[in-house]
Amino acid sequence: KAGVTQTPRYLIKTRGQQVTLSCSPISGHRSVSWYQQTPGQGLQFLFEYFSETQRNKGNFPGRFSGRQFSNSRSEMNVSTLELGDSALYLCASSSLGTSGIVDNEQFFGPGTRLTVL
């Protein structure tokens, strides 16, 4: 079974630009979560999608958005990039149970390292 894949692995952008990151979950997994990892703030939850609906959102500005497609693949978009957006963006998928995501193990992808210049 293929793991979670994220593309691209590395990305360099300049301030003011926008970026789209992609995440393909493990086959059969319908829940996809996104996390931002920085040296200063550590790992922080961005949002979670299940069946094309955003179910939960972390404390990030509206410049951060996402979506999920019918095949469970997910994209996250960051508009008007700032230097502080430089981070490792991790995606995780899980086979959601009836009681919610926390009942199930989350499988993480390798991440996309975004550098904003």
Partner 1 sequence: AQKVTQAQTEISVVEKEDVTLDCVYETRDTTYYLFWYKQPPSGELVFLIRRNSFDEQNEISGRYSWNFQKSTSSFNFTITASQVVDSAVYFCALSVWRDDKIIFGKGTRLHILP
Number of chain residues interacting with partner 1 (CB under 8 A): 28
Mask: binding to partner 1, 74-93, rule CB under 8 A, as x and -? --------------x-x-x-
* 97-116 residues near partner 1, rule: CB under 8 A: 99-103, 105-111, 113
Contact 109, 23 (CB under 8 A): yes
Q: How far is CA 93 from the centre of its chain?
A: 10
Smallest distance from the beta carbon of 96 to partner 1, in angstroms?
9
Q: Which amino acid would we find at residue 101?
A: I
Of 8, 17, 43, 115, the one binding partner 1 by CB under 8 A: 43
Measuring CA to CA, which residue among 48, 55, 20, 57 is closest to residue 106? 48
* Alpha-carbon gap, residue 25 to 78, rounded angstroms: 20
Closest CA to 108 of 92, 95, 96: 92
Among residues 58, 60, 65, 67, the one that binds partner 1 under rule CB under 8 A: 58
Taking contact as CB under 8 A, which single stretch among the options 20-28, 54-62, 69-77, 79-87 is the one that binds partner 1? 54-62
* Residues counted in the chain: 117
Binding site for partner 1 (CB under 8 A): 31, 33, 35, 42-45, 48, 50, 55-56, 58, 88, 90, 92, 99-103, 105-111, 113
